[in-house]
Amino acid sequence: MAQRAVSINGVLRGLVPWAGAIVSALLVLLCLGTVLAVFLRAESAAQFSRSDWVAVRFTVTQAFLSALLSVVLAIPVARALARREFRGRHTMIALLGAPFILPVIVAILGLLAVFGRTGVFSIVLGWFGLPPVQIYGLHGVVLAHVFFNLPLAVRFLLQGWAAIPAEHFRLVASLGGGPRDVGRLLERPMLWRVLPGTFALIFLICTTSFAVALALGGGPKATTVELAIYQAFRFDFDLSKAALLAVVQLVLSGSAAIAAWKFSRQHDAGQGLDRVVQRYDRAHGRLADAAWLGFVVLLLGLPLVMVVMQGAAGFLSMPASVWAAAGRSLLVALASTCLAVTFGLALSLWLARLRGAPRALGEMVAYLTVAVSPLVMGAGLFILIFPFASPRDWALPITALVNAAMALPFVTRALMPAVEACEAEYGPLAESLRLRSWARLRYLTLPRLRRPIGFVAGLAAALSMGDLGVVALFADPEQATLPLKLYDLMGAYRMEAAAGAGLLLMGLSFGLFYLFDRGGRMNASV
Amino acid sequence: MLRFENVVLEQGDFRLTADFTLEAGTQAALIGPSGAGKSTLLSAIAGFLEPSKGVIRWQRESLSGVPPGDRPMSILFQDNNLFPHLTVAQNVGLGLRPDLRLSKAETAQVTETLARVRLAEKADEKPASLSGGQNARVAIARLMLRAKPLLLLDEPFAALGPALKSEMLELVSTLAAETDATLVMVSHDPDDARRIANETVLVAEGVAHPPKPTETLLAHPPAVLAAYLGH
């Protein structure tokens, strides 16, 4: 028995260096194997119909408009943030990070409360005798995407501004240059460098959008490819159509991903955002800057405030099933977090040792899920599991797995620099002391990477907590996660209960992020 | 003995050849201009860089392909010789067992060694709360525990200031002498070489020259060494 335990231990130890390779194989299987599974299971080749074509066109149009509006609006906002010093600047930059971990369905709840038929905005319009706005359709989808991606664009541009050396501003000022010259000599070149990558990234994010289209789109004219996949699978169980659309989606977001990758290599994770650029043209445009900052605070803040206000009112009228759904969501989120962190760590440690072409290939695999539809992944897993067990029994584990895979690009991106720094600084010492596999993980990697691990665990947990994607495919009412439950409540026009559930979901997502991120920082010595 | 057989080290455009023997128990300094390849030679002995040609042998055994941790040596780097997130005792204990599953006897050994370098009361503290000299002694305590026959120093005490640096070098030199270990140290300072090293290897212009008695070499330096020393 002891002999056996030793050998299993030995096998596990042998696996550690290969963990990253195993994870990437799993990812390839999840991303491409599932598409293949859907393909093989399809009985006949589907025809590319008119409505599919409409879906492709709608996907591209809304993604283009969303990306364009996001980056165009981000320019004056980022410039205002870069050159103004004011109380609450720090809070505002933090607020810009919030949409990333805000559940999509909660944001939609908030946007409906502001821009819906009976929302604040329509009421104000009514005072002037104007008809209420209509949020469903193309402009609703674009509005929601701008809500999520404008902050992202602002953060990227703010990094661009922060990267302009202070000396350059001094130089232009000393040469007698005004705001116009600063723009021409410093800001415009920076924007040309940063904007294409930012645009491409947002375009990519918007092409894979599902929950926004599910809630605000719909109808033959406002269906994204992702939504069409969902409908083909869930309503028609038309696997050949789902497979065809899956390939379309792969090509679409794959090309967007390649463009984003080509343009955005110089971006680094948020550093130096707190620094106000010292510059000499401050007297200029003070009012305009204030207006732009006010606009963003309103756009981001108002929906969130509405969620809190309406949610507090509806908190007591929530059915018990909401709490059960919250419990399931928590379990899924925690499982997904464990998977995402384990996968991400294994991948990063493996990638850090590779060089040249294998490294580029490995990184591509790590970021593969950016371009792949989680719905196709779910559908493929459904088909693979079907012969052995009832997929519905596996809905939650599959959701956790797919969520982890979807979080992996962000997790890997945040972990890689920390892993590389740790290896560069302490790798030789660890080597010379024969610190390997488990011991190395325990005494070097995990303690050194506490902070980034806490951060990415928070990201993964919040993303999984708020995810409304693959779980919708399998949706059994008694297995619903909280976002799905919330969507059902909205669909049944139980708006009070929905508002309460929305507040609960937002609180859980932000709470999970806060706890993990804090946990990484606590007692982290040196 | 440590033997370099027609060794060629290459890193990009950089190239260094070495073909000589150091007898076991020697205390040798590597001296030469910056960028000449002193540290490169040391990392080749330690196993961080494989020679592109030739073989490095320790007591007739080839070291080719042997990972750093399995070589009969201990090395101190220029910095990062301690893990800042582990306690002093853990840092030293790693020298006995990398998985830190220390037996009672081993734990006692760690305590005893820390007492030898006068750091017994700092056992549970983290390196950040110790002075530079104390941290150096923690690293030396680990050298003592590992008790490897080959000690490599890549100027680990350079940041300490002259007096403390000499003290630490003396400590390591004494340790090497007591255990009959071979000591190879990179040095910028001819005085260090004089004090510690009976032999010196001149590393310059792409060649690590065979060792010469330190006094002789420094008294009659070749042109390149004379230029470096400023004679």
Mind listing the pLDDT tens digit for each residue in A199-239? 998 999 999 889 999 999 877 788 999 999 888 888 888 88
Q: Which residues of chain A make contact with B77, given a CB cutoff of 8 A?
A: 428-429
CB contact under 8 A, B85 and A448: yes
pLDDT for the residue numbered A284: 67
* Gap between the Cα atoms of A179 and A171, Å rounded: 13
pLDDT for the residue numbered A11: 59
What residues contact residue B37 under an 8 Å CB cut-off, 6+ apart? B9, B14, B16, B203, B206, B208
3-state secondary structure of B42: helix
Q: Which residues of chain B make contact with A438, given a CB cutoff of 8 A?
A: 99
CB contact under 8 A, A435 and B69: yes
Domain ranges across chain B: 1-72+153-231, 84-147
pLDDT for the residue numbered A8: 55
pLDDT for the residue numbered A275: 58
pLDDT for the residue numbered A471: 86
Tokens in use for B170?
């003396």
Along the 526 residues of chain A, how does pLDDT read in single tens digits?
344 444 555 555 566 668 888 999 999 998 888 888 877 877 666 778 888 899 999 999 999 999 999 999 999 999 999 888 888 888 888 888 889 999 999 999 999 999 988 888 888 888 888 887 888 889 899 999 999 999 999 988 988 888 888 788 888 888 877 778 888 888 888 898 889 889 998 999 999 889 999 999 877 788 999 999 888 888 888 888 888 888 888 888 888 888 887 876 554 444 445 556 656 566 667 888 899 999 999 999 999 999 999 999 888 888 889 999 999 999 999 999 999 999 999 999 999 888 888 888 888 888 888 878 788 888 888 888 888 888 778 889 999 999 999 999 999 989 999 999 999 999 999 999 998 888 888 999 999 999 999 999 999 999 999 999 888 887 677 889 999 999 999 988 888 899 999 999 999 999 999 999 998 887 655 4
Query: What CA–CA distances, in Å, run from A434 to A16, B83, B95, B105?
Result: 15, 14, 9, 21
A68-223+285-309 under CATH 1.10.3720.10, yes or no:
yes
**Among positive and negative, which fits the CA dihedral A329, A335, A337, A340?**
negative
Query: What CA–CA distances, in Å, run from A148 to A19, A24, A287, A504, B68?
Result: 34, 29, 26, 20, 49
Q: Where in chain A is the domain with CATH 1.10.3720.10?
A: 13-42+318-526, 68-223+285-309
**Shortest alpha-carbon distance between residue B75 and chain A (Å):** 7
What superfamily would CATH give domain B1-72+153-231?
Answer: P-loop containing nucleotide triphosphate hydrolases (3.40.50.300)
For residue range A271-304, what is the model confidence (pLDDT) as tens digits? 445 556 656 566 667 888 899 999 999 999 999 9
* Gap between the Cα atoms of B142 and B159, Å rounded: 19
CB contact under 8 A, B69 and A444: no
CB contact under 8 A, B68 and A431: yes
CB contact under 8 A, B81 and A426: no
Q: Which residues of B touch A (CB under 8 A)?
A: 46-48, 67-70, 73-75, 77, 80-81, 83-86, 90, 94-95, 98-100, 126-128
Are B225 and B32 contacting, i.e. CB atoms less than 8 angstroms apart? yes
Instruction: Look at strands B207-208 and B61-62 and give their pairing.
Output: unpaired
**Shortest alpha-carbon distance between residue B140 and chain A (Å):** 14
pLDDT for the residue numbered A415: 92
pLDDT for the residue numbered A314: 84
Instruction: Look at strands B150-153 and B182-186 and give their pairing.
Output: parallel
% chain B with pLDDT above 70: 100
For residue range B99-126, what is the model confidence (pLDDT) as tens digits? 899 999 999 999 999 999 999 999 999 9
pLDDT for the residue numbered A526: 45
Q: Which residues of chain A make contact with B81, given a CB cutoff of 8 A?
A: 429
Choose, out of A422, A423, A426, A432, the residue to mutate when testing the contact with B (most B CBs < 10 Å).
Answer: A432
| Sequence letter at residue A126 | G
pLDDT for the residue numbered A354: 85
Choose, out of B39, B80, B99, B125, the residue to mutate when testing the contact with A (most A CBs < 10 Å).
Answer: B99
* Gap between the Cα atoms of A246 and A48, Å rounded: 12
Specify burial of residue A281 (Cβ count, 10 A radius: 0-12, 13-18, 19+): middle
Q: Which residues of chain A make contact with B94, given a CB cutoff of 8 A?
A: 433, 435, 443
CB contact under 8 A, A526 and B95: no
Specify burial of residue A420 (Cβ count, 10 A radius: 0-12, 13-18, 19+): middle
pLDDT for the residue numbered A203: 93
Are A66 and A224 contacting, i.e. CB atoms less than 8 angstroms apart? no
pLDDT for the residue numbered A274: 55
pLDDT for residue B24 is more than 50: yes
SS3 annotation, B64-90: CCCCHHHCCEEEECCCCCCCCCCCHHH
pLDDT for the residue numbered A3: 43
* Gap between the Cα atoms of A193 and A191, Å rounded: 5
> How many contacts (CB atoms, under 8 Å) link A and B?
64
Q: How many other CB atoms sit within 10 Å of the CB of residue A455?
A: 22
The CA-based angle A163-A166-A167, given to 5 degrees, is: 125
Closest CA to B73 of B58, B62, B61, B83: B58
> Which fold does the domain A13-42+318-526 belong to in CATH?
MetI-like fold (1.10.3720)
Could you write out the DSSP letters of every residue in A229-260?
HHHHHHTS--HHHHHHHHHHHHHHHHHHHHHH
pLDDT for the residue numbered A377: 87
pTM for the predicted model, two decimal places: 0.85
Tokens in use for B115?
């007492």
